[in-house]
A and B are shown apart, each in its own frame.
Chain A
Amino acid sequence: MSPADDEAFEAFVRAHGTTLVRLAGALTGNPDVSEEVVQSALERVFVRWRRLDDPLAYSRQVVVNLCRDRGRGAGRRERVGLPRTDSPAPDVIGTRDDRDQLVRAVRALPYRQRAVLVLRFWHDLTEQQAADALGIRAGTVKSQTSRALQRLRQLLDTPATQVTGGRHDPP
């Protein structure tokens, strides 16, 4: 890697590192795993840096793939929504419980549906960009989004104990 490439790569990591960690966080719900996954993904980007037309798109692909791999094992527990305990932000508008439950419900979705929602609605990707990140067709993104939202509504209509094994909202 030339010095110019090296500088460009460092700038890339500084510019997108946190975004990618948060993407992994949205998919895994685990800060440590997120950091580890993104580091691993960016190492792959580093190796291919000069050959990549769109390093950010490639980084997203790798992060999504690695998160899925991790989710098959230890990440499963986090996915179903055990709340994180590290310094929650203040609840300025008084709807924290709703939001927490929404996040838990998203993480309870099957991986592809979860990833579609995160990429489309939180990461603001187009259907085609989300499709590229997931390695599926844009049409599949559309159908998975629809199913995910439907399933999400069902999960949120279900007493919280069934979603999370814990909390229950008053009627």
Chain B
Amino acid sequence: MTHPDLDVRRIREAFDRDLSGYRAPNDFPERVRHGGLRRARQRRVRRVTCVGAVACAAAVALVATAPWAGGPPKSRTPPAAAPQRLPSAASLGKAMLTAFDAASGDILYSTEVDTNKGQLVDTYLDWNWPAQPVPGQQARWRERFAEQTVLFSGKPVSPVEDFTVSYLSPSQQATNVPARVTMVCYAGSKGCGMGDTEVRARTWARYGQQVPAFAVASGVGAGGMFSPATLAQGITKGQWRVLRRTRLDGQQVIVLSETSKGTISPLPFLLWVSARTGLPVKYASGSGGSTSSGIFAYLRPTRANMALFRVPIPRGYPRSDPVKG
């Protein structure tokens, strides 16, 4: 069979016919919105430079109660076997909860780095305090976001916005939370702000606004997708598989892999959990073209560390009034 007449029309007809059964489901907008909110929330979570050696160490010290902290008790386990032994899903889940209770008053510092074809697309640096606030408690969140000016263009990332939000931690049912926002919108940004409030590029603003509750939630906090409670529950449900024990930046970690029952990502998703503290320290997802990775560190809320919530105002940036969009 020869095809001298292979042309655009034939290709189009062939695909029109082949794809006629493909349709977006009716509830697509709702599903996408739900997933988008979850993804936005997830973004509040990553980071990882165990810059927080201090914080990590603090958490470690507080969490000596983890079942395998410092290796299982020698009286129960042969020393040679202990370091390689994987915890059971149940003990891992329990240790995570214990660990996080101890670190919940710390500052969660997290980073996220997204790449495309090996090139940096965007970066997020986040600070949340407390890592797991109690409803009604004073809380703060800062995010510094940078991305390529033209996505996937190969151009370097440049700062978009840097903001800090002070608020009273909302209840689980709240959709919005009154907050005080300080926002720096960098030159070249196409839009800065949260919800229906916009800040003009190359200016900064300080104002009060109702911020979406999902936005201020830390990823490891209550309900967050990396919260030890959520992870522990996911492990029980088979959403995570305990893969192996290894070393990361000098510390023993346990590597978890999300299974097909998981809910975070359609792509391979790995999570590193400190074997000593039970706290998430790193994650990586994606393969080939697009990847996303991040780290988590837990900082003591000292005066010096709390100063990290102060957003520096670039020289020459005037203060502006935010605009309702």
A residues in contact (CB < 8 Å) with B: 1-6, 9-10, 13-14, 17-18, 20-22, 25-26, 31, 34-40, 42-47, 50-51, 53, 58, 61, 65-66, 68-70, 72-73, 84, 86-89, 96, 98-100, 102-103, 106, 117-118, 121-122, 135, 149, 152-153, 156-157, 169, 171
Contacts and interface: CB of A to CB of B under 8 A. Distances in A.
B25 interface: yes
25 contacts: A1-B212, A13-B29, A17-B24, A25-B22, A46-B32, A61-B152, A69-B287, A69-B288, A69-B289, A69-B290, A70-B266, A84-B21, A89-B20, A89-B21, A99-B10, A103-B15, A106-B11, A106-B15, A118-B15, A121-B11, A122-B11, A122-B15, A152-B3, A152-B6, A157-B1
Contact of B3 (A3, A103, A156): A156
B22 A46 contact: no
A26 B20 CA distance: 11
B310 interface: no
A84 B16 CA distance: 14
A33 to B, nearest CB: 9
Nearest to B190: A51
Contacts of A17: 24, 28-29
Contact of B21 (A31, A53, A152): A31
Given A69-B267, A102-B11, A44 B39 contact: yes
A132 B12 CA distance: 21
A81 B205 CA distance: 56
A53 to B, nearest CB: 7
Contacts of B2: 156-157
Given A26-B15, A34-B22, A39 B28 contact: yes
Given A42-B28, A45-B36, A84-B18, 8 more contacts: A13-B24, A26-B15, A43-B39, A65-B290, A98-B14, A102-B6, A122-B15, A135-B116
Interface in B206-236: 212
Nearest to A99: B14
B39 A47 contact: yes
Contacts of A36: 266
B13 A99 contact: yes
A46 B267 CA distance: 19
